Every structure is written in C-alpha cells, then in structure tokens.
Amino acid sequence: MPHLASNLNNHFNERLSELGPSKIRAFDQKVSTIPGIIKLTIGEPDLNTPDHIKQAAVDDILANDSHYAPQSGKPELRQAVSSYLKRSLDLNYDPNSEICISVGATGALNDVFMSILNPGDKIIVPTPVWALYFQLIKVTGAIPVQVDTSKDGFILTPEHLQKVIDQQGPIKAIILTDPSNPTGRVYSKQQLLGLSQVIEKNNLISVSDEIYGELVYGNNKHHSLSQFIPDRNILISGLSKAYAMTGWRLGYIAGPQEVMKNIIKMNAFLVTSVTDNVQAAAIEALNNGHEDPIKARSIYADRLEFMKTGLEKIGFEMSTPQGAFYIFAKIPDQFGNDDETFANELAKKARVGVTPGRYFGTGGQGYVRMSYASSKENLKESLRRITNFVENLNN
Ligand code: PMP
C-alpha cells in the first residue's frame, strides 16, 4: 500500500510546487511507448565510456578509496581540470582556490545559481535554450529573462543584449550556453568579445555553460567568455558529453577566487563531495584521455554531415549546426508554427521521435530538435522515414 500524505498540502516548498516536470522528458516518455520508434529526442551520447576510464574507477574502488573527498574535489582532479583549461583554452585557474568539482554540469549549475541569485534577481537567458535552467533559476526565487535569438540565427548579439538590459534592468547575471543545446550554434571569438564588453559595461556576472565545448565541428572552434572576462565569468563544464559519461555525474566550475569561495561553500552544503571513484575516473579521463573527445568528435561530425545533407535535400531549413549533437530544424510549411503537432504526427505516422522546439523557450516555435547522438543505422533509417513522411505531405 502506498503511503498517502494527508493534510500536508501546505508543507512543501512553494516555489517547487509551481514548477512542472520537464516537458522534454514527458514528450520523450510519451513517444517511447510507440512500438519500433527511433528516438532522436535524447540529449545523451550513445557511445560507451572508454575502457581506461572505467578501469580507473574499478582500481580506485579496489584500493579502498571510499572516504569523504575534500569538499571542492580531490586535489589531483582540480589540478587536472586546471591543466585541461590551460591547454584547451589558455585559461589560468588556481586549482586550490578557483575550481570546484560537482555532480554533473547540473550540480554545478545548482551550486552557481544558489550562490549568486537572490529572490527577485533577474538573469538573462538567451533562448531557445536547455530548459532546465528555468527550473533551477526559479527555484531560487530569481527571474529568468528570456531573450529570443531566433531572428539573429540563434546568436545573442551585443546590441540585443544591451537593448534588453536597457528595457528590463536592473539585471544581475546572464547565462550563455556555448555550444548550444538545442540549436548547435557556436559563438565566434569576435561574438564573445562583443558580448563580454556589454557584460562588463553593465557590471553583470556571467555564467558560461560549456558542457559541449569539446564537440565543435568543421572549421569552428570553441572559445570561452573566460578568455575575455575571467574576473566576472563562471565557467561550467564536465565530462558527460565529450567522454560519454552522463551517468557518472561529474561536472566542474572554474571562476574568480572571490566568487568561488561562495560556490565551494554551497557545493559543500549541497553534496559534501563527489563520489571518490567517479573523481578517480575523471582524473584518468582528463590526464590520459586526450584522444577520447577527438574520437567522439569525428563520429558526431560524420553523423551531422549525413543528417544535415539528408534533411536539407528534402527541404528542411536550419541555422548551420556547428557543435553539440543537435540539429534545430524548421518544420515543413504545412504545419505553420505548430511544432508540437508536427512532432506528434512524425512520431505516430513515421515512428521518429523529435522534440518540439517550443519546449526550449521563446523563439523555438516552428522548430524541432533532432539529436544525432544515435547510431548511424538509426540515423539512416530515421532519415528514410522522415523523407517518406515529408514526401507524403507534398502528395
Ligand atoms: N547543460 C546543457 C546545455 C545540457 O544540454 C546538459 C545535458 N543535457 C547539461 C548541462 C547537464 O549535463 P550533466 O549531465 O553533466 O549534468
């Protein structure tokens, strides 16, 4: 028999009660019940964690490394993160005071939002965006200010940012996802420089979610706001995407010492410390797994090319995807702006699951997100099904 809570309606966190569950997950669950469906709804690598990383965790368990780690993370891991950020982005972070290990990028985001936001504070969220930000921000009592970037190819321009600050101020912070989920867009150095100047001029604190930083394709290159405003940017990343380690839950935060002092304090309150053997695996990944993201990148780049070419051939329009593992495509004209109907019909009639763009905030209406973190066979078959579906629309 389940335990039914009686008379406890007023005993919950009010802000939590106001928040719904993730629409992206709900939609995914709904289409999962369709027999034979191929799901391009999932934002997680289909690849396996490399063996040498798994072995490091096994060795660590057998060596009885099973005690509380330091609250900001094992010193060797903080050093490995610091070295990684130096060699990949030429950033300089002191492993002793400017880096904190958390439970996935999600845990890192929670640490950061809980540390910098007060009820009523406004934080700019360029959209379409990974929607969990909204929940994490609202639960602190702060207010996400959505800024629709769809008119500028899903890139927030400095002029647009300044306009929003002028109209909606005072603003405390901004979060930038680069590379972007769901659009796959990547900011150029010049674009980040422009944004950093507006951020500085208006005394904002910035949070850059760079969880897809290793997954950038073609001639595009990943840069970081921290290269321009290291004294006011908080960098978030982790191992989930580039090393196919979503279930391990390992993320990190790097930022200026004064800010990190508070974040490390919050991380200790929220999680005490991250699981020992997971940290051992992360040390191995960052110190000895330099080839792993390169291999992953070449697999995803090939899939992207395949999907993009195939989709464009049958008339889908998209702002060129440059990173992460998503294509954000405009739906066929027959559906107008109704991405939910399109996604439902595609799931029912063609047995391909894609995520309605409106679930990612303003500017997402009329688009769907397709994840190519799926096997080439699945992608080939889904493209065949989508092609049939679209051809039938036109007949
Ligand atoms: N940020 C973005 C933009 C994401 O897309 C995701 C995962 N979908 C995360 C953070 C969460 O990463 P993690 O699994 O490391 O918590």
Please indicate whether residue 254, judged by its CB atom, sits closer than 6 Å to ligand 1.
no
Domain boundaries, the chain: 14-48+292-394, 65-288
- Alpha carbon dihedral 127, 132, 136, 142, in 10-degree steps, equals 20
**Mutation probe of ligand 1 site: the residue of 132, 134, 178 with most atoms within 8 A of C-beta:** 132
Residue type, 321: P
Question: 142-156 burial, b if ≥16 CB within 10 A, otherwise e?
Answer: bbbbbbbbbeeebbb
**Mutation probe of ligand 1 site: the residue of 127, 177, 241, 253 with most atoms within 8 A of C-beta:** 241
Distance between CA atoms of residues 184 and 181, nearest Å? 6
Please indicate whether residue 237, judged by its CB atom, sits closer than 6 Å to ligand 1.
no
Please indicate whether residue 211, judged by its CB atom, sits closer than 6 Å to ligand 1.
yes
CA of 108 to the centre of ligand 1 (A): 10
Distance between CA atoms of residues 178 and 186, nearest Å? 6
| Mean pLDDT of the region 274-283 | 98
pTM, full prediction: 0.97
| Helices and strands in the chain, H and E counts | 13, 12
Please indicate whether residue 230, judged by its CB atom, sits closer than 6 Å to ligand 1.
no
Please indicate whether residue 233, judged by its CB atom, sits closer than 6 Å to ligand 1.
no
Question: 323-343 burial, b if ≥16 CB within 10 A, otherwise e?
Answer: bbbbbbbbbbeebeebbbebb
Burial class (CB in 10 A: 0-12, 13-18, 19+), 11: exposed
| CATH number given to 65-288 | 3.40.640.10
Please indicate whether residue 365, judged by its CB atom, sits closer than 6 Å to ligand 1.
no
Please indicate whether residue 50, judged by its CB atom, sits closer than 6 Å to ligand 1.
no
Please indicate whether residue 353, judged by its CB atom, sits closer than 6 Å to ligand 1.
no
What are the tens digits of pLDDT across the range 77-106?
999 999 999 999 999 999 999 999 999 999
pLDDT at residue 59, rounded to an integer: 98
What are the tens digits of pLDDT across the range 332-352?
999 999 999 999 999 999 999
Please indicate whether residue 105, judged by its CB atom, sits closer than 6 Å to ligand 1.
yes
Would you state the CATH architecture of domain 14-48+292-394?
Alpha-Beta Complex (3.90)
Provide the angle, in degrees to the nearest 10, between the axes of the packed helices 158-168 and 189-201: 20
Q: Is the dihedral of CA 4, 10, 13, 18 positive or negative?
A: positive
The full DSSP string for 27-75 is HHHHHHTSTT-EE----S--SPPPHHHHHHHHHHHHTT--SPPPTT--H
Distance between CA atoms of residues 43 and 164, nearest Å? 30
**Mutation probe of ligand 1 site: the residue of 81, 240, 270, 326 with most atoms within 8 A of C-beta:** 240
pLDDT at residue 110, rounded to an integer: 98
The angle at the Cα of 313, spanning 310 to 317, to the nearest 5 degrees, equals 95
Longest dimension (CA), the chain: 66
Is the pLDDT score of 160 beyond 90? yes
Please indicate whether residue 263, judged by its CB atom, sits closer than 6 Å to ligand 1.
no
The full DSSP string for 335-378 is GTT-HHHHHHHIIIII-EE-EEGGGG-TT-TTEEEEE--S-HHH
ipTM higher than the 0.90 cut:
yes
Query: Residue 48 — pLDDT band, cuts 50, 70, 90?
Result: very high
* 3-class state of residue 313 by DSSP: helix
What are the tens digits of pLDDT across the range 7-30?
887 888 999 988 988 899 999 999
Please indicate whether residue 129, judged by its CB atom, sits closer than 6 Å to ligand 1.
no
Please indicate whether residue 209, judged by its CB atom, sits closer than 6 Å to ligand 1.
yes
Q: Is residue 95 a contact partner of residue 266, using CB atoms and an 8 Å limit?
A: no
Ligand 1: which residue has its CA nearest to atom 8?
43
What are the tens digits of pLDDT across the range 232-265?
999 999 999 999 999 999 999 999 999 999 999 9
